[in-house]
Amino acid sequence: MCTTCGCGSSETLNHQHASKVGAADKTDLRLVQLEKDVLGKNKRYATQNREYFQQHEIFALNIISSPGSGKTSLLTATIDALKDQVDINVIEGDQSSQLDADRIRSSGAKAIQINTGKGCHLDAHQVGHAVEDLNPADKGVLFIENVGNLVCPAPFDLGEAYKVVMLSVTEGEDKPLKYPDIFYAADLMIINKTDLLPYVDFNMEQCIAYAKQINPNLIIIKLSATKGDGLSAWAQWIMKQRVLNESKHKP
Ligand code: MG
């Protein structure tokens, strides 16, 4: 169960039931307090992670999307493109299996897998321990591939420099309106699988308009992780922001 969204928990069911019988106020207050406690604790761990990344000049990105949007494919393509220029490490989040960490290692980067079990997002405490185990080199790039989910990861700061939200053209262009929290929290949106545009009913302009409606500052990159179109814009964004981020924290 996710302690913030309460998905699958008896508390969620009780909350719905309680609303019907007019006893919602107490339950609501308890859930709000629980959410504040969980996010407050997470924020303290996220601050520690961020300080560590700044001290070691590690550029950390938190990659968030639905399952199947192509996060791991994007990362293997990015590792291929950048591994000769910068040290790359990856933290993989999935409910179970080591499959994605294995894919990352085969592309030549160091990776560690976090299995969240019933959990539907990564938290900053898990990421802190994974960083200890990975021991990434200074001045590198750290990708944190979150559990496939557009909802629960949104409020959880992991200490990253930027949140990157991704959707693919095989999904609905209305996702920014349906799941606004993550599009509001993100700095960059990647629209993946552009090579499939001729075969699917996806309105690119509408998708971008919806995303900008939620977050006018959102940077947008369209690409195909598997075919390579647009990948250089993403690689350039990483390398540029990495330098800007370092200089931002220099005394
Ligand atoms: Mg994956």
201 class by beta-carbon count within 10 Å (0-12 exposed, 13-18 middle, 19+ buried) = exposed
pLDDT level of residue 24 (50, 70, 90 thresholds) = low
Residue 37: the pLDDT is 86
Nearest Cα to Cα of residue 124 among 36, 35, 44? 44
Report how far ligand 1's centroid is from the alpha carbon of 79 (Å).
14
With a cut of 60, say whether residue 14 has pLDDT above it. no
Name the percent of the chain lying above pLDDT 70.
90
Cβ–Cβ contacts within 10 Å for residue 28, how many? 13
Per residue in 41-58, pLDDT tens? 999 999 999 999 999 999
Report how far ligand 1's centroid is from the alpha carbon of 24 (Å).
38
Cα 58 from Cα 66, distance rounded (Å):
26
Report how far ligand 1's centroid is from the alpha carbon of 145 (Å).
7
Report how far ligand 1's centroid is from the alpha carbon of 27 (Å).
36
Report how far ligand 1's centroid is from the alpha carbon of 244 (Å).
28
Per residue in 197-228, pLDDT tens? 999 999 999 999 999 999 999 999 999 999 99
Report how far ligand 1's centroid is from the alpha carbon of 121 (Å).
13
Beta bridge partners of 62: 144, 163
Q: 239 is written with which tokens?
A: 């390398």
Strand ranges (E), the chain: 59-65, 88-94, 110-115, 141-145, 162-168, 188-192, 219-222
Domains of the chain: 24-249 (3.40.50.300)
With a cut of 60, say whether residue 129 has pLDDT above it. yes
Query: Residue 181: left (phi > 0), alpha (psi -120 to 50), or beta?
Result: alpha
Specify whether the CB–CB gap between 140 and 58 falls below 8 A: yes
Whether the pTM exceeds 0.95: the reply is no
Report how far ligand 1's centroid is from the alpha carbon of 20 (Å).
40
Per residue in 57-87, pLDDT tens? 999 999 999 999 999 999 999 999 999 999 9
Per residue in 163-177, pLDDT tens? 999 999 999 999 999
